Chains A and B, each alone.
Chain A
Amino acid sequence: MFKKMNFTKIIINVFIIAFMFIWILPTIGLLVTSFRPASEVSSTGWWTVLNSPLKFTQFTIENYQQVLNQGGMAYAFRNSFIIAIFGTALPVLVAAFAAFGLAKLQFRGRAVVYTIIVGLLVVPLQLTFIPVLKIYNALNLSGTFVGVWLAHTGYGLPFAVFMLHNFFSSLPDDLFEAAYIDGASIWTSFYKLALPLSVPAIASLVIFQFLWVWNDLLVALIYLGGFQEVAPLTVKLSSLVGSYGQNWHLLTSAAFISMVVPLIIFFALQRYFVRGILAGSVKG
C-alpha cells in the first residue's frame, strides 16, 4: 500500500514537472533571446546557445541598454504606476462594498442586481469604446488619468464583484448575527469582520486586477492616447517597433523590463494568492 502511494506520487510529480517545463519554455526562450544580438536572433534560434552555454561573448546587454536609454522611459514607468495603482485600488474598493452588500444584506431584488453585474462579464469591452469615449469627450475626461481609472474600474468590477461575492457568501452568517447582537453596525461588521477575514481573496483580486491594468495596451491607447505625458509603459514599448516590424528584437528585453513590477507584486502577495484561490472551497 505504502509503495503504491509512493509510485503514484512519483508519477504525479513527473507530470507536474514536465508540464511546468513546457509552460516555462517559451519564457526561457524569450529571456535567452533578449540577451542575444539582433544579427544572431535573425539567423539562429535561441536554443543554439545550449551548444556552448558558457561562451559569454555570444550574449549582450545592448538590447536592454537601448530600451532603457530611449527618452521618456521614466515618464512611462511613472504613468504606468499612476494608472495601475488607482486602476486597481478603485475597483477593488468599490467591489468590496458591492459584494458585501449583495452577499450579506437582505433587500429585495439583490439576486437580480447580482445577476446583471455578473452578466456584464460577457460584454466585450471593445463594444464600449465609442459610446464611452463620446461621453468622455463631452466631460473633458479623454486623455486624463481619471478617465482611464474609471474605465478600468468599470471593466474590472463584474469579475471583482463576482469573486468577492462568492467569498463573502462563504463566511458564516452566525458570525455577523453575533456581531449584530453585540451592537455592531453594518459598517463595523464590514470593516472589523468581513474585510480582515477576506484578506486572501482581496489579495488575489489585487493581483489579477493589477496584472490586467499593468499589461493593458488597448484601453490606455483609446482613452489616454499615445502622448508621452500620459502614455504608460505598454504604449511606449509598442512604439519601439517600426511600421514594418523593424527592431522587434528589442521587444524581448522590453517584455522583461515591464515584467519586473508584476513579478514583484506577485511574489509579495503570493502566499495570499494560493489561499485566495482556495478561498471558500474548503473549510479547514
Chain B
Amino acid sequence: MKKALLLILSIVLMAGMFSSAALAQDSVSVMAVWGGQELDAFMKMVEPFEKATGIEVQYEGTRDLPTLVTTRLEAGNPPDIVALTGVGMMKQLAEEGDLVNLSNVLDMDRMNKEYSQTWIDLGTYNEDLYGMYISADVKSLVWYNPKEFAAKGYEVPETWDELKALQEEMIANGDTPWSIGLESGAASGWPGTDWIEDIMLRTTDPEVYDQWVNHEIPWTDARVKRAFEIFGEIAKDPEYTYGAPTAVLATNFGDAPNALFTDPPQAMMHRQASFITSFIRDNNPGLVAGEDYDFFPFPEIDEEYGTPVLGAASMFGMMNDTSAARAFMRYVSTAGAQSIFVSELGKLGVNKNINPNVYPDDLTRQMAAMLREAPTFRFDGSDSMPGAVGSGAFWQGILDYVSGQDLDGVLEYIESISQDTYNQ
C-alpha cells in the first residue's frame, strides 16, 4: 500500500513538472481587458512583432483588470505590459512608482512628431510619459436612421435650439426623439455619465471640466447641476425618451440603439460612443453603415464653447523594464502596428501617420476626421475620476436621478463620497 502511495505522489510530481508553463523563453506578458474580436485584433497586431523578433507575446485577459493588477503588484509579479483602463489608473500607478517612465524607452523626438500634443499630455504625469496611446473612441456622437430622417423630413441639428425644434417636430408627428439604455450589469449607469460629460463640455470651459474631474469644484456646483438638469429633461420624460424612465433604467446599453431600427421605429436618435456600431451590426444584421445608420456630432449648447469631443482611448503602460518589454512598446507605438489594430476593430488611430484608408468604412473615416479636427478633446471624465466616484457614486447618482430622486440629494450624495475619496 505504501508503494501505491509513493506511486501516486511521484505521478503528481511528474505531472507538475511537465505542466509548468514554459515561460523561460524570451517573452513579454501583456494584461488587458480585451476579449472576442478585440483579442483577435490584438493578436493580429503583435504577429509581425513575434515573427521579426522571436519574442513571444503572452496575453492575459481579464474583465477585472484593476483587481488582478493590484494583487500581482502586491505579490511582486506584475505583467510586463498593462493596458491601462484610464488616466485615473495611470496616475495612481505612476504615483506609486509602479510604471516605467516611457520617456527613456521611446524615442521622444519621433513620438512628438507622430503624436499630437493632446495624446502626449494625456499620457504624461509629473512631466514623465507613462501611458502610450494606441487607439481612441469618440463619444460625442448621436446615431440616427438616415432613411427615417429623409422620409419624415427631419434635418440634422447643429445647435441645441435646432435640436429642441427637431424634438418638438418629432413629438408633434407622434415619434419619440430619444432611446437611452443605462443598464450594464454591475456598471449600470455609465451611459448617463457620458451624457453629463458631453453636456458639461458644451456648457462650461474645458478648464472647469478638468476642475470638476479633479474635484476642485464640488458636485453641488450650479454648472454641474445644470448639466444634470439638461440630461434629466430628456431622459426622465416619456415624451422625449422611449419608455422613460422605466425602460431607460432597464434597457441594456447595447440593446438601446435597436429602437431606431424597429418597424415603425420606437425612437429616432441615440447618443453613444463609436464602439456602438459593433452592437448595431450584431443585433441588426444587414444594416449598412452610412445608409441605414449614421451619426452627427452631439450639437453645441452654448455657442461660445462649440462642440468639443469627448472620448476614450486604449493605452499601454510598462511595469517591468525588460528588453522584450521595451521592444514591444517601441513596436506598438508605430503607425504600422496601430493600423492593424484600428482597422480590425473600427477604432480610431492616434498616430498621425496612420493612413485613413485602413478604416473599414466612410463612417469611421468621418469619426477619425472629427477626432483629428476637434478644437478641444477631453478624456471620459468618469474614467479619470477615482474608482469610488467615477465607477461608483457617479453611476449610482445617474440611476437615482433618473428613477426620480431629488437632484440636490443625489449631488450631495456624490459629493460626500468624493470628499472621502479625493482627500485620501
B16 interfacial contact with A, CB 8 Å:
yes
Given contacts A130-B75, A227-B21, A246-B37, contact A42 B254 (CB under 8 A): yes
Q: Interface residues of A toward B: which range?
A: 35 or more
How long is the Cα–Cα vector from A222 to B68 in the complex, in angstroms? 7
B174 interfacial contact with A, CB 8 Å:
no
Given contacts A38-B282, A243-B35, contact A133 B72 (CB under 8 A): yes
Contact B71 A39 (CB under 8 A): no
Main secondary structure of the interface of A (DSSP, over half): helix
B15 interfacial contact with A, CB 8 Å:
yes
A145 interfacial contact with B, CB 8 Å:
yes
Which B residue sits closest to A250, measured CB to CB?
Answer: B36
**Contact among B19, B23, B61 with A82 in the assembled complex (CB-CB below 8 Å):** B19
Contact B60 A226 (CB under 8 A): yes
CB-CB under 8 A from B19, the residues of chain A are 82, 144-146, 230
Which A204-233 residues have C-beta < 8 A from chain B? Answer: 221-222, 224-230
Contact A241 B258 (CB under 8 A): no
Which A131-147 residues have C-beta < 8 A from chain B? Answer: 133-134, 136-137, 142-146
Least Cβ–Cβ distance between B182 and chain A, in angstroms = 14
| Residues of B in contact, count (CB < 8 Å) | 46
How long is the Cα–Cα vector from A225 to B78 in the complex, in angstroms? 11
A residues neighboring B (CB under 8 Å): 38-39, 42-43, 82, 86, 90, 93, 129-130, 133-134, 136-137, 142-146, 149, 187, 191, 221-222, 224-230, 238-247, 250
How long is the Cα–Cα vector from A134 to B75 in the complex, in angstroms? 4
22 residue pairs of the A-B complex, CB under 8 angstroms, read A39-B284, A43-B283, A82-B19, A90-B12, A129-B71, A133-B74, A134-B75, A137-B75, A137-B76, A146-B20, A221-B62, A226-B59, A227-B29, A228-B59, A238-B62, A239-B36, A243-B63, A244-B254, A244-B275, A246-B282, A247-B37, A247-B282
Contact B15 A247 (CB under 8 A): no
CB-CB under 8 A from B31, the residues of chain A are 226
CB-CB under 8 A from A130, the residues of chain B are 71, 74-75
B residues neighboring A (CB under 8 Å): 1, 8, 12-13, 15-16, 19-23, 29, 31, 33-39, 58-63, 68, 71-72, 74-77, 184-185, 252, 254-255, 258, 275, 278-279, 282-285
Given contacts A226-B61, A242-B37, A243-B34, contact A187 B76 (CB under 8 A): no
Contact B21 A143 (CB under 8 A): yes
Contact B36 A38 (CB under 8 A): no
CB-CB under 8 A from B22, the residues of chain A are 229
How long is the Cα–Cα vector from A133 to B278 in the complex, in angstroms? 38
Contact A245 B33 (CB under 8 A): no
How long is the Cα–Cα vector from A250 to B61 in the complex, in angstroms? 17
How long is the Cα–Cα vector from A238 to B34 in the complex, in angstroms? 10
Query: Which 7 residue pairs of A and B lie closest in terms of their CB atoms, listed nearest first?
Result: A133-B75, A146-B16, A226-B60, A145-B19, A239-B35, A42-B283, A243-B33
Contact A42 B36 (CB under 8 A): no
CB-CB under 8 A from B275, the residues of chain A are 244
Least Cβ–Cβ distance between A255 and chain B, in angstroms = 16
Given contacts A39-B285, A143-B21, A144-B20, contact A221 B68 (CB under 8 A): yes
How long is the Cα–Cα vector from A13 to B74 in the complex, in angstroms? 54
Given contacts A39-B282, A137-B75, A246-B279, contact A239 B61 (CB under 8 A): yes
Which B residue sits closest to A66, measured CB to CB?
Answer: B36
How long is the Cα–Cα vector from A144 to B24 in the complex, in angstroms? 13
Contact A133 B255 (CB under 8 A): no
Contact B35 A39 (CB under 8 A): no
CB-CB under 8 A from B254, the residues of chain A are 42, 244-246
Which A residue sits closest to B76, measured CB to CB?
Answer: A137
Which A residue sits closest to B184, measured CB to CB?
Answer: A245
Least Cβ–Cβ distance between A22 and chain B, in angstroms = 22
